[in-house]
Amino acid sequence: MGLTGAARVLAMRASDAVPPLTPDGDEAREWAERELADPVYAAAQPTPLDRIARAIGEFFQRLFDIELQDGWGSAFALIAGIVVVVVIVAAFLVWGAPRATRRAPAAVTVLFGENDERSAAELRRAAASHARSGEWDAAIVLRFRALARGCLERGMVETPPGATVHAFARAAGRAFPGEAVALEEAAVAFDDVRYLRRPGTAALYERVAAVDDRVATTRPASSEAVPA
């Protein structure tokens, strides 16, 4: 075999070992899919937030790029800008300035040593039922619990499970300074019938119920909860 023939054979063998530089249609598609499967391309894709921001920007760009005859284009852009500002101001007036979301107070089931999940309204109804039956001890205890539960529901007072009625009364007195004395008297009434076993009376129940009614309809001195 001559030199030229040997070179031809070597070239043919080399071509068999090296893939063709120009792939056919199916092979090119496979190469492209394998390349695009690289995570680098996925990371470069715009996020949904990017798409929303881009859509808003394009909307305003189209809004202010409207061409009107007789020089009305600038006037239209000015009017559109004023409308946007008015809408933003109206939103602030209606809903107020954006602020951090206030975390809802954790539900407190243990109240003055007893596990009671009833709401303030339920406790008031139970107290009224005992009062109609002349069961003043139970009526006074339940109405004071309704008073405390109402303050908890409004986020005015934080009462941990071990808090006493007097600790609650002092904390509620800071939230409602005008009722501080009446709250302490209601706490004493609770102690008298609950722990000292002194008999309750209709007058004592009316006193506790009255302070509960006033606190329920009074604006607190501060929007921050007072810890007991």
Domain membership of residue 105 (yes or no) is no
Domain membership of residue 100 (yes or no) is no
Say yes or no: 147 and 167 in one domain. Answer: yes
Ramachandran assignment for 96, one of left (phi > 0), alpha (psi -120 to 50 degrees), beta (any other):
left
Is residue 172 classed exposed, middle or buried when 0-12, 13-18 and 19+ CB atoms within 10 A define those classes? Answer: buried
What integer pLDDT is reported at residue 188 of this predicted model? 96
Q: How many domains does the chain have?
A: 3
pTM for this structure?
A: 0.54
Domain membership of residue 58 (yes or no) is yes
Domain membership of residue 135 (yes or no) is yes
Q: Count Cβ atoms below 10 Å from residue 65 Cβ, excluding itself.
A: 9
What integer pLDDT is reported at residue 208 of this predicted model? 97
Say yes or no: 35 and 66 in one domain. Answer: no
Say yes or no: 33 and 118 in one domain. Answer: no
With b for 16 or more beta-carbon neighbours within 10 A and e for fewer, the 206-223 pattern comes to ebbbebbeebbeeebeee
How far apart CA 219 and CA 228 sit, in angstroms, is 19
Domain membership of residue 76 (yes or no) is yes
Say yes or no: 114 and 19 in one domain. Answer: no
Q: Which amino acid is at 140?
A: I
Q: Measure CA of the first residue to CA of the last residue in the chain; give whole Å.
A: 107
How far apart CA 125 and CA 35 sit, in angstroms, is 72
Say yes or no: 90 and 180 in one domain. Answer: no
Say yes or no: 134 and 218 in one domain. Answer: yes
Nearest residue to 159 via CA among 179, 175, 135, 181: 175
Say yes or no: 30 and 123 in one domain. Answer: no
Domain membership of residue 206 (yes or no) is yes
What string of pLDDT tens digits covers the 228 residues of the chain?
444 454 454 455 545 544 555 556 566 666 666 665 655 555 556 666 667 667 666 766 665 555 555 555 556 666 766 776 776 766 666 655 554 444 444 455 678 878 888 999 999 999 999 999 999 999 999 999 999 999 999 998 887 778 899 999 999 999 999 999 999 999 999 999 998 889 999 999 999 999 999 999 999 987 777 776
Domain membership of residue 148 (yes or no) is yes
Range of the domain at 62: 48-95
Domain membership of residue 103 (yes or no) is no
Say yes or no: 115 and 68 in one domain. Answer: no
Say yes or no: 36 and 54 in one domain. Answer: no
Is residue 28 classed exposed, middle or buried when 0-12, 13-18 and 19+ CB atoms within 10 A define those classes? Answer: exposed
Structure tokens belonging to residue 25:
């249609």
Say yes or no: 91 and 114 in one domain. Answer: no
Say yes or no: 33 and 131 in one domain. Answer: no
